[in-house]
Amino acid sequence: MITFFIVPLILLVFMIDRKKAFRIGFYGLVVHVFAFYSDLYGTTQRLWEYPYTLTPFSPSSFGLDASLIPVTYMLLYQWTVNHRKNYYLYICLLAIAFAFVFKPFLSSIGLFHLVKASYGYLFLFYLAGGFFSKWMTDLFELAKERA
């Protein structure tokens, strides 16, 4: 879990587009908040659980919610903006990868356990987080342009 927290942050330092760092950082903050509260909801409702956590005061996975997921989403967002690619297509692919590849991998090594939810349910959370974060970022970019 420490690796999931530290390695993405190190990668972000070297890979972030510094000219767009504020916009990408804002997007990442929205992803982080959405991921944290979604994960907190899922764990407190016993939809899923993490047998090992980075912090003892939260049942959710801090390493995933504060680093791995936001940084991955940020780098994807940056790439779609810089290369004028369809964000919605690529966020769908990323949501599929997280829900149907990464989470089953975590389950297989004992770091994640589905209780009452399904991987399809997780896919919807990952997709909603990506959509919501893009919409919030676009809304704030629009407000900045009109100021």
CA distances (Å), origin 1, targets 18, 81, 109, 136, 147: 28, 30, 12, 29, 42
Per residue in 66-120, pLDDT (tens digit) is 899 999 999 999 999 999 999 999 999 999 999 999 999 999 999 999 999 999 9
Which ranges of 83-118 would DSSP assign to H, the alpha helix? 87-97, 103-108
Q: Are 126 and 93 within 8 A, CB to CB? A: no
Per residue in 43-59, pLDDT (tens digit) is 999 999 998 887 777 66
Q: Are 62 and 6 within 8 A, CB to CB? A: no
What is the extent of the structural domain holding 94? 2-146
- The number of distinct structural domains making up the chain is 1
pTM score = 0.93
